[in-house]
Chains A and B, each alone.
Chain A
Amino acid sequence: MKHRYPLLWLALHRRRRMLIALLVGMAVFEALIVVITVTVSPQELFAGGGRTPPGAFKAFSGSTGDVSIASYPGLLGGGLVHPFWIALQLTVIGSLAAAAVAADVESGTIELLMVRPISRNRLLAERTAALALASLALNAVATAVVAVGVLLSPQLHQAVPLSGVFVAGLLGTAFTLCLAGPALAVSAASSRRAAVIGATIGFGAVGFAVNFVALAWSKAAGLRFVSPFHYYTPGDALAHGTVPWGSFAVLTAVGLLGTAAAFRLLARRDLAP
Chain B
Amino acid sequence: MSENLRDPAAAVIDVGALTKRYGPTVGVEELDIRVGAGEVFGFLGPNGAGKTTTIRCLVGLLRPTSGRVRVLGLDPVADHRRLAPSLGYLPGELRLYPELTGGQTLQLLADLQGAATPRRAELCARLGLTAADLRRAVGEYSRGMKQKLGLVQALQHDPALVVLDEPSEGLDPLVQETFFELLAEARAAGRTVLLSSHVLPEVQRACGRVAIVRAGRLVTVQSVAALREVRARRVRLTFADGAGPRPLGAAESWSPRWQGNRVELLIPPGEVVGALRGLLALPVEDLTVEEAGLEEAFLDLYRTPTDQSTPTDEPGEQR
Residues of chain A touching chain B, judged by Cβ–Cβ distance below 8 Å, are 2-3, 6-7, 10, 14, 107-119, 270-273
Contacts and interface: CB of A to CB of B under 8 A. Distances in A.
Contact of B316 (A7, A114, A119, A272): A272
Given A271-B61, A272-B62, A116 B114 contact: yes
Contacts of A118: 81, 84, 112
A171 to B, nearest CB: 35
Interface string B40-61: 0000000000000000100111
Given A109-B95, A111-B89, 4 more contacts: A7-B112, A112-B153, A117-B81, A271-B61
B80 interface: yes
Interface in B95-114: 95-97, 99, 108-109, 111-114
A108 B81 contact: no
B47 to A, nearest CB: 15
| Interface size grouping (class) on chain B | 20 to 34
A116 B97 contact: no
B91 interface: yes
Given A7-B112, A116-B113, A107 B62 contact: no
Nearest to A17: B99
A115 B89 contact: yes
A36 to B, nearest CB: 38
Contacts of A111: 56, 61, 89, 91, 95
Contacts of B153: 112
14 contacts: A109-B96, A111-B61, A111-B95, A112-B109, A115-B59, A115-B87, A117-B84, A117-B113, A118-B84, A270-B61, A270-B62, A271-B61, A272-B315, A272-B316
Contacts of A115: 59-61, 84, 87, 89
Contacts of B63: 270
B52 to A, nearest CB: 8
Contacts of A112: 89, 91, 94-96, 109, 153
A4 to B, nearest CB: 8
B95 A108 contact: yes
A265 to B, nearest CB: 14
Contact of B84 (A6, A107, A108, A116): A116
A112 B61 CA distance: 10
A114 B61 contact: yes
Given A114-B60, A115-B84, A273 B113 contact: no
Given A111-B91, A114-B60, A6 B81 contact: no
B85 interface: yes
A100 to B, nearest CB: 15
A93 B158 CA distance: 39
A30 B193 CA distance: 59
A10 B87 CA distance: 22
Contacts of B94: 108, 112
A203 to B, nearest CB: 28
A109 B62 contact: no
B93 interface: yes
Given A115-B61, A270-B61, A270-B63, A109 B112 contact: no
A111 B89 CA distance: 9
A116 B91 CA distance: 13
A107 B96 CA distance: 9
B62 A113 contact: no
Among A116, A117, A272, chain B packs the most CB atoms within 10 A around the CB of A116
A189 B61 CA distance: 14
A14 B97 contact: yes
A272 B61 contact: yes
Contacts of B111: 2-3, 6
Contact of B80 (A113, A119, A273): A119
Contacts of B87: 115
Contacts of B80: 117, 119
Contacts of A108: 91, 93-95
B75 to A, nearest CB: 14
Contacts of A270: 56, 61-63
A115 B153 CA distance: 11
B307 to A, nearest CB: 28
Contacts of B59: 115
B93 A117 contact: no
Contacts of B112: 6-7, 113, 116-118
A115 B165 CA distance: 14
B86 to A, nearest CB: 9
- Top 9 A-B residue pairs of the complex, sorted by shortest distance between their CB atoms: A108-B95, A117-B84, A116-B112, A111-B91, A6-B111, A115-B89, A270-B62, A271-B61, A117-B81
A119 B91 contact: no
A47 B160 CA distance: 78
Contacts of A109: 95-97
Nearest to B62: A270
Contacts of A116: 84, 109, 112-114
B66 to A, nearest CB: 14
A117 B110 CA distance: 11
Given A115-B59, A270-B63, A272-B62, A14 B99 contact: yes
A14 B139 CA distance: 13
B60 A119 contact: no
Contact of A272 (B56, B99, B109): B56
